[in-house]
A and B are shown apart, each in its own frame.
Chain A
Amino acid sequence: MANEYRQIIRNGLWDNNVTFTQMLALCPLMAVTSTATNGLGMGLATTFVLIISNMTISIFRNVTTPEVRIPVFVLLIAAIVTLVDMAMNAWLHELHKVLGLFIPLIVTNCAILGRAEAFASRNSVLPSMVDGLTMGLGFTFGLVVMGIVREITASGTLFANASSLLGSTFSFMEVTIIHDYRGFLLMMLPPGGFLAMGFLLAGKRILDKRISAANRRRQQIVNITPAPQHA
């Protein structure tokens, strides 16, 4: 049981990361990651929606049929996103003013439909919610990393305007990394997003190769006669 959850968490955060492995949700990724703060906001809002949508779809998984599952998922996700949008506008208005732009975009996030199809429609409620949480956090991680890379290269700052998203207590996060930086426009614009994404993907591949090579070596030391390993 604990093992199952560990696997879900590992998958969501790294092995099957929405951004870097599944390469889903690239549309919001390119659109919002011009600053790390925007990435964080989008990531958190998406995480929230993912938890709720995975939960709802898992509840309905036994009554839907394979033939109509896609329209049912789309309907549920759209309804949830709209409700979240309205509720935030009414009760968390200040936050909505900052994130408001991103929330309708969540409907277009294919990662949510992807998780509904690949996980929530086949698993019970609690694992589905854990999957939503960790996939969301993995996505947030991807967005923030992209945002950090692009923001530093484009304008030399980090987490600019974080206090308007998280409140004034978080203003310490706003730092200028490169002083008197003249700015590098390309990284701010969509092509910069694709460039950063390419380098980050390559970086993750290299890292994964190193990790699996290290694991293999460790296992070779443990077993004196090494069995062939598959990565």
Chain B
Amino acid sequence: MTDPEVPMNIKQRLGYHASILGVIALGASALLVAGYVGTKSLIDTRLDEDMQASLQQVIPESLHDNNLVKDTTHLNIEDVTGKQVNTIFYRARLDKKITAIAYQVAGYGYSGEIDIILGVDITGKLLGVRVVSHSETPGLGDRIELGKSKWVLSFNGLSLENPKESLWGVKKDGGYFDQFTGATITPRAVVAAIKHGLKQFSLHKAELIESTAASPSSPLPNKAGVNQHG
């Protein structure tokens, strides 16, 4: 099928092929740039909202009066494999005093990285655990998601003393935590990542809590504070 406006002899020239490909590539890139610019700030807002939503799940509202997404500090901590990773710590404050910290750790499951967000109070007790992203087998390993199973809730209130450190493993390995039928690798990875995250917290606790007394984005001043952590 030939277009009457473009005679065949022009269409057969090498230059025509190259330029049509070039023009379409340029057009497509221009569209992508426009799309990126047009959606960037919206997507960022949405991602911030998502982050806020997952932070709210791991740190109870009653423990903070600041905006967690805005009150962050960066620190290099060791990941499960021993590599140094720059990690963002979200700080929950009540009357400018840090009450809890939320941060993300990664475990390595059956099919790659499992990103887990932890909420830890200043005594090192888990306030909440959520799996942020993973690519585990649907129907098996995905029971680490709260939407699929209540398993992650079993970590609430636990710490490295309760159960004691040697029991931080799945039952199959003689530990404290349930694995799922048909999936051991995934919960094993999650338990190991949480244990590791708690250890890193106790290692860096001083830097995270005691040295950062002043809040950069200061919350409401002199709010009569009732200390609710416990």
Contact = CB atoms under 8 A, between A and B. Distances in A.
Interface of A: 34-35, 38, 60-65, 67-68, 71-72, 75-76, 78-79, 82-83, 86-87, 89-91, 93, 97, 122, 154-155, 161, 164, 183, 185, 188-189
B202 to A, nearest CB: 33
Given A68-B20, A82-B35, A34 B138 contact: yes
Chain B interface residue number, banded: 20 to 34
Interface string B167-180: 00000000000000
A62 B2 CA distance: 6
B1 A89 contact: no
A79 B140 CA distance: 34
A86 B11 CA distance: 35
Contacts of B182: 183, 185
B181 interface: yes
Judged by DSSP, the binding face of B is helix
A149 to B, nearest CB: 14
Given A65-B16, A65-B20, 10 more contacts: A34-B139, A60-B24, A62-B6, A64-B24, A68-B20, A68-B21, A71-B21, A154-B139, A183-B139, A185-B182
B43 A72 contact: no
Interface of B: 1-3, 6, 11-12, 16-18, 20-21, 24-25, 28-29, 31-32, 35-36, 38-39, 42-43, 46, 50, 137-140, 147, 181-182
A93 B182 CA distance: 33
A134 to B, nearest CB: 22
